[in-house]
Structure 1
C-alpha cells in the first residue's frame, strides 16, 4: 500500500485536534511561522481565529514580498500588514524584527515603532536597506522595557530629553551614523549594558566608554581616540581600527590596557597601525601585567618587521597566564625590509601557561622562524603549534624539517604544519 499523501494525512486528522491544543503550544507554532502565515491561521478554527492577535514575537522579512515588484516597492503591502497589527493586536510584544536589507526602499516605520513603545517591547532588531540610512524616530528612545537593541544602517540621534535605557543589556550598532558625543552618552545611560558591538560608517573622534557592567566589546571602524574609562568586568574585547585613524598622541596604551583588569580574550588587528600605540622605542613589557588574559589573537601583523614583531611580543610577554595564542601574519609586499630579530631582548621570558599556538598565513621568513623558535624554546607546557602557510607558499619539507630541529621546552609539543599539496 502506498503511504498517504500530505493532503490525505491532513484529512485524517480529527476535527477537534487543532482546537484542543493548549495555548502555549499554539504560541510556539505561531512563533515559528512567517508573519503572513501567522495571520492565515485565523481560518483554522474558532480558537485559532484571534490567537495570532496575542503573539508576542513578530518578524517582518523578505518573505512578505515574493514578487519582484514587491521587493522593489514594499510599502503598499507593508502598510496593509502593519495596519492589521495596529488594529487587532492585543497584549505585549516582547520582540520585533524587521530584516529587509535587500529592499530598495525602506517602508515608513515611525508609527509602528511608536506602537511598539506602548507594547512593552524588550528586543528590537532593525536591518534596513543599505542604500539610504533611515533616521530613527524619537519614539524608539521611550521604550523603557528595552533589553536588546540591534540596529543596522540607521541614523541615530537621541533626543535631548533621552534619559537612557535602564534595562538594556545588549547594544549592536552596525553601519550606523552617530556622533561620538551621542554615542558616548547613549552608552553611559545604559547602566546594565553587558554586550556592545560597534561597526561604524564614519570616522569617530574621541570616544569614552563608561559601562561598569560591560563584559563584551567588539569595535570595527575609524576612530581618533578610544578610552575604556570604566569597564572593570570586561572579559572579551575585539578592536579593529581601520585606515590608521588612531592619533598616537591621543592614545595612552598603558592606561588603555590598565583599565581592562578583567580582560580574558583580546583581539587586536595590527593591519591598521596598532604598533603606533607604542613610543619610538618599544618596551619589552607593559608597565603592568594582563594577569587574566588567556586568549590573545593578533591579526594582520607584519612579523618580518622587527618593530611590529616587538609590539606583539610585548603584549604576549605582558600576559603571563596566556594559554592560547593566534597570530595572523600579514606578508604584504611593501617597503618592509626583512631583518633578524634580537632574541636577546627576550632571553629571560618564559611562557609558563601557553598550551596552543596558531600561526596563519605563515610566509617562512627569517623573523617568523625566529619567532616560532622563541615560542618553542620558552613554552614548557606547550601541547600544539599549528602552522598554516600562506596560499602562495609551497609545502616545503625542508621548512618543516627546520622547525622540528628547534629546541622544544615541552616534551609534549607537536607541530602541525598544514600542507595544501
Structure 2
C-alpha cells in the first residue's frame, strides 16, 4: 500500500504543517500543486515579524514590503483568523495597521499579539475594542485610548501590557470590564497613579513599574503575585501589610523584587493575624532593613511554605549588631515544617546572613536541599572557603539536608 502523498493530506494536517512554518515558507508551498496554491490563505493562525520585510534590495524599503504583505493578507485570506501575532520592533512606519486590525475584528480573532517599536508607540484604532471574541491580548509599545462606548472584553482570559501609554482610569476600566480575566501582566514604563483592580477570577498578577498605589481587594482567587517596583517609589503610599495579605487567602506563589517592601511596609507586625496557609513558594529580595523585616514576617506567617528563595544585597554597615539578635529571637517559636528547598543568593558572609542561614537549617526538618550562592564581586575563593567552613558547623534539623555552596 502506497503512503499518502503530501498533497492528499487532510485539511487539519495541512494546517498543522503550515502553522509550524514561517509565513514566508508557508506562502511558498503554493507551488507544490494546484490544491496547495491557496492553502495558506485559510490558516487560522498567522505570525508576522521583522524577518518578513527585511530585504537586501536597497530599492525596496521595509515599509513597502510590509504594505505588500498586508495587502495580500487583507485581500486573499478567507475564513476565521483566530490567532494573529505582529511584531514590528524595527519598523518606523506602520502602514495598513488600522485596516489590518479592522479586518481581524471581523474575523473572529481570539488571540492577538501586537508589538511595536519603542521609538514610535502606535495609537490603537477603535476597531480593536470591538474584538468581542478576544481571549488573549498582548500589547507592547502602544497608545491605548478606549472610546467611551467601550463595554469591555467579555471573553478575555489573559491580558499583557508592556510599556504602553494608558491612563490609570482607562486601565482600571479595561481590567474591571473583563469579568473572566485570569492572568494579568503589567510592565509599565510610565508612572501610574492609584489603580484599583477588580477581577474576581484573577489567578495570576505580575506588575513591573512605578505606581503610587495598587488596590487588590477584589481578587479572592489570586494564587500568584509578582511585584517589582521601579525607581520612583518615594511617593508610593504604604499599605497595611496585614490587611493586604488577608485579602488574598488563596495565594500560593509570591515573588517580591527589590523595592516592593517600600510599597507594602507601613509597619511590620510580628506575624499575620491569619496565616498564609496556601503559600508554598516565596521569593524575596533584600537590600535594606524594610525588605528584611517584610521577608522574615512572610516566612514566619507561612506554615505550608515549601520553596524559599532569598536574594541578598546588604552590607554589614546597613544594620546594627542587635538586629542579628532580634532576628534570632523572632524565630524562637517558629517551625518551618514543610520547607524542602532553600536558595540564598548574593551573600558576602555578614553576621546577619549567616544567622539567617543558621536559623533556616535549624528550623526546617523536611529540608532536602539548600543552595548558597555568594556574591562573586565581593567574595573571593579564600573568603568563600571560610563561609563554607562556618556553614559546616551549623546544626541541621533534617538529616537529608544537602548544603551546596557555589563559589564560582
TM normalised by structure 1 equals 0.89
Distance 1:154 1:184 in 2: 17
Aligned residue in 2 for 1:5 = none
- Post-superposition offset of 1:74: 2.4
- State the shift of 1:35 in Å: 2.0
1:360-399 → structure 2 map (5 Å cutoff): 360-392=345-377, 393-395=379-381, 396-399=384-387
Q: Which runs of 5+ in 1 are unaligned?
A: 1-13
Q: 2:301 — aligned with what? A: 318
Answer yes or no: is the 8 Å Cα contact 1:172–1:196 preserved in 2.
yes
Alignment match, 2:146: 158
Query: 1:249, 1:276 → 2: CA distance?
Result: 6
List structure 1 segments (4+ residues) > 6 angstroms apart after TM superposition. 69-72
Question: Is the contact made by 1:338 and 1:365 (CA closer than 8 Å) also made in structure 2?
Answer: no
* 1:216 counterpart = 2:199: no
1:283 Cα offset (Å): 1.9
Instruction: Map residues 12-411 of structure 1 onto 2, 5 A cutoff.
Output: 17-67=5-55, 73-245=61-233, 247=235, 249-269=237-257, 271-272=258-259, 274-275=261-262, 277-279=264-266, 282-299=268-285, 301-302=286-287, 306-331=289-314, 336-337=318-319, 339-340=321-322, 341=324, 342=326, 343-392=328-377, 393-395=379-381, 396-411=384-399
Aligned residues between the structures? 400
2:196–2:215 contact (8 Å) kept in structure 1: yes
Indicate how the Cα distance of structure 1 residues 373 and 18 shifts in structure 2: closer, same or farther if over 3 A, else same: closer
The 1:182/1:71 distance shift into structure 2, 3 A limit, reads: farther
Q: How many angstroms does 1:120 deviate by?
A: 0.5
Aligned Cα root-mean-square deviation (Å): 2.2
Report the Cα distance in structure 2 between the residues aligned to 1:217 and 1:297, rounded to whole angstroms. Answer: 15
- Judge which range, 348-357 or 193-202, deviates more: 348-357
DSSP 3-state at the match of 1:416:
strand
The 3 A distance-change label for structure 1 pair 111 and 361 is: same
CA distance 1:244–1:327, shift in 2 (3 Å): farther
Query: Does the CA-based 8 Å contact 1:223-1:246 persist in structure 2?
Result: no
Provide the rounded CA distance (Å) in 1 between the counterparts of 2:340 and 2:358: 15
Partner Cα distance (1:97, 1:41) in 2: 21
Distance 2:262 2:73 in 1: 54
Per the alignment, do residues 210 and 73 of structure 1 end up closer, same or farther by CA in structure 2, a change over 3 Å counting?
Answer: farther
Contact preservation (8 Å) 2:238, 2:264: no
Distance 1:72 1:394, change over 3 A: farther
